[in-house]
Amino acid sequence: MLIMKEIEGVLHFEDVALPAVAEQFATPCYVYSKAAITANWQAFSEQLPAPHKICFAVKANSNLAVLQVLAELGAGFDVVSGGEIARVLRAGGKARDIVFSGVAKSDAEIRYALSQGIGQFNVESDAELERISEIATGMGLTAQISLRVNPDVDAKTHPYIATGLEDNKFGIPMQDALATYLRAAKLPGISIVGADCHIGSQLTELAPFLAALERMLALVDTLAEHDIQLRHIDMGGGLGVTYSDEQPPQVAAYIQAMLARLEDYPHLALYLEPGRAIVANAGVLLTRVEYLKFNGHKHFIMVDAGMNDLLRPALYQAHHDIVNVDCHSKAASITGDVVGPVCETGDFLGQNRTLKVQAGDLLAVKSAGAYGFTMSSNYNTRPKPAEVMIAGAQMHLVRARETLEDVWRGETLIPNEAKA
């Protein structure tokens, strides 16, 4: 849906002018659209009615208000830490709708998850399986588990977000999966409910998903031969979005392609764990131009947002379109790098961009709703930015901008030896 639109020469998010957001909450500032999150969620949910299940990948955007919107829509949640479990519950999500993934779950996290009654664990190793069994048995509980299997499928994405290859840390190797399932079937405190895989993020082709599904269904068949019957198959997330010129499959085509293959498995529900596809294009990062600089060789557009606010360009060489909020700017056109104030050469939001821009202009970094604030830091002692949710003509501050006191909260000075 069209959430960012031009009205009288100024970009709006839903019915709110972006300069009004910056004026009230300053910059840098993350801005999310409730309508876009809702529409993106419904694109999945209308294709996957119960008993199928959609679990939002909380790591993409863990703001409580974002999780609240999704919980009210009936979402399940894919989490990777005890902290994310607590966030989901605080936002109104139901424990039974939580799937707990992650490769290094601690004793404390497993105990907390069991005590809250989460839906299931996606187990990533034999050692983790045995630990869950021991803890669950000691608590007098039964843990529902799904084994995360690594299908060794090339997702054809950035190596940092490819997760389904043998070289990756995630999951149990396919050749070891049967033995681990047979072991799980004998362990106390364990109930096997499914099989899980996730091959990577920002995938723009259907072929890797379907290749992984074929390998997972072959495992399902093998398990059935050993009297292990599964209730669902979890194909993870990873569906890409358009950042610049990518053309990922439509949500309906993506889901229907998998459901068509599952027609021979009517007993299996399909679980999916989208994150980026729900929130990426539902958010922007607003930033103000501080200076223009030309060093005789190259132009730099210096803004008040840096790599500590939006890490993706520096970490993944990721592309985000950047636009002037003033659509009819009379400023001169400049081609250069959009860079921030962080003391690193890698501190850029975009390279070789052509913009009509001058000092003081407000820019919008598009497609910043996923892996934006959640990956932010206080590097260079920079307070984290505010987050704002737009709902129609209303602006809601859903996270206040940090103060310097917030940044060093928890730190202490040591005693001064000269005064001791």
What pLDDT, on the 0 to 100 scale, is given for residue 166?
Answer: 55
From CA 101, how far away is CA 196, in angstroms rounded? 10
Q: Residue 116's Cα: distance from chain center in Å?
A: 23
Q: Is the pLDDT of residue 246 over 60?
A: yes
What confidence tier does 412 reach under pLDDT thresholds 50, 70, 90?
Answer: very high
Give tens-digit pLDDT for 105-147. 999 999 999 999 999 999 999 999 999 999 999 999 999 999 9
165 pLDDT band (50/70/90 cuts)? very low
Confidence band for 158, pLDDT divided at 50, 70 and 90: very low
Selection from 43, 60, 54, 75 nearest residue 279 by Cα:
60
Mean pLDDT of 256-270: 96
The fold adopted by the segment(s) 4-31+280-407 is Lyase, Ornithine Decarboxylase; Chain A, domain 1 (2.40.37)
pLDDT recorded at residue 204: 87
Is 344 annotated in a binding site? The answer is: yes
182-206 pLDDT tens trace: 999 999 999 999 999 988 888 888 9
Instruction: Give pLDDT, residue 202.
Output: 86
Q: Is the distance from CB of 158 to CB of 316 less than 8 angstroms?
A: yes
CA distances to 325, 342, 386 from 310, rounded to whole Å, are 19, 11, 13
What proportion of the chain, given as a percentage, has pLDDT over 70?
Answer: 95
Task: Summarize the confidence of residues 289-308 as an average pLDDT.
Answer: 96
102 is in an annotated binding site: no
**pLDDT at 3 > cutoff 90:** no
Q: What is the pLDDT of residue 90?
A: 98
The answer to which of 79-93, 158-172, 273-287, 335-349 has the lowest mean pLDDT is 158-172
Query: Catalytic residue positions?
Result: 343
* Per-residue three-class SS string for 234-252: ECCCCECCCCCCCCCCCHH
Nearest by Cα to 191 from 271, 137, 267, 247: 137
pLDDT tens figures, 348-395:
999 999 999 999 999 999 999 999 999 999 999 999 999 999 999 999
All CATH 2.40.37.10 domain ranges of the chain, comma separated, are 4-31+280-407
276 is in an annotated binding site: yes
Does the domain at residues 102-272 carry the CATH identifier 3.60.110.10? no
C-beta neighbour count of 262 within 10 angstroms: 18
Tell me how far apart the alpha carbons of residues 221 and 227 are, in angstroms, rounded to a whole number. 10
pLDDT of residue 417: 77
Looking at residue 162, what is its pLDDT?
Answer: 47
CATH 3.20.20.10-classified regions of the chain: 102-272
Question: Are 75 and 64 spatial neighbours (Cβ–Cβ below 8 Å)?
Answer: no
385 labeled binding residue: no
pLDDT at 11 over 50: yes
Query: What pLDDT, on the 0 to 100 scale, is given for residue 164?
Result: 41
| Arithmetic mean of pLDDT over the chain | 93
Query: Which residue in this structure is represented by tokens 């996290």?
Result: 109
- Measured between alpha carbons, how far is 39 from 162 in angstroms, rounded to an integer? 27
Read off the pLDDT of each residue in 314-322 and give the average, rounded to a whole number.
Answer: 93
* pLDDT at site 420: 58
4 vs 419, which has greater pLDDT? 4
Taking residues 231-256, what's their average pLDDT? Answer: 92
Quick one: pLDDT at residue 171? 83
pTM above 0.85, yes or no: yes
Annotated binding residue at 316? Answer: yes
pLDDT at position 169 is 58
